[in-house]
Chain A
Amino acid sequence: MADRKQGCVAAAAGPLAPSDAREVTAPATMQEVPRMLAKVGREAPDFEAIAFMPATGDFGPVRLSDHRGKWITLCFYPGDFTFV
């Protein structure tokens, strides 16, 4: 039996609200509309995601703020096994 943490479908934490943010009480329909928060000159929106780590060959969670204090390049791309 595989480790629970290594299940087939694992929900990542996704975007993380600042710790001092109050709980959102907006209706569900409003919560589903994503707000673009990332802007130059502003703090980067924090998040946690499950990752493949080539250095170890293992899977694990990565939190953006774990790298606070260093320069970070965050690269989004459309998909594995695509062409460009």
Chain B
Amino acid sequence: MQELGVVVLAVSTDSRFTHKIWQEQELSKMVDGGVPFPMLSDAGGRIGAVYGVYDEAAGVDIRGRFLIDPDFVIRAMEVLTPEVGRNPAELVRQVKAYQHVVRTGEVTPSGWNPGDTTLTPGPELVGKVWTKWKP
């Protein structure tokens, strides 16, 4: 993410003190040097509520990921119940795709990765996408 110029912010309902100890006691043993990004405290869940990820019964923010562009517009979101973890590779793919879209004005078909065919929407492409791209 750092290589792509993306700021990462992690948020849970834990206190900042718990974040510190988690980093020191566990995360630093999973990731060399610990995680580099700020760990925000959303005690009370007010931020999670605004983002639609606060579970009032459990009192926690469920797993939600939001990609925000430099104009402060939310481009993508993914929300999971707690049992299943995320796939960071898909986030990286989406970041690269959105950065390409913003840079070029082209659009990226299903499953696009850097180097794959992109499309330029326009009247002449209507009904002829098949000539440019196949799944």
Contacts and interface: CB of A to CB of B under 8 A. Distances in A.
A59 B62 CA distance: 23
Prevailing SS type, chain A contact patch: loop
Contacts of A52: 16-17, 19-20, 23, 38-39, 41
A14 B46 contact: yes
A38 B6 contact: no
Contacts of B126: none
A64 B65 CA distance: 14
A78 B4 CA distance: 26
Nearest to A56: B38
16 contacts: A12-B41, A14-B44, A15-B46, A37-B51, A38-B77, A41-B74, A51-B40, A52-B20, A52-B39, A71-B67, A73-B1, A74-B9, A75-B9, A76-B62, A78-B12, A80-B18
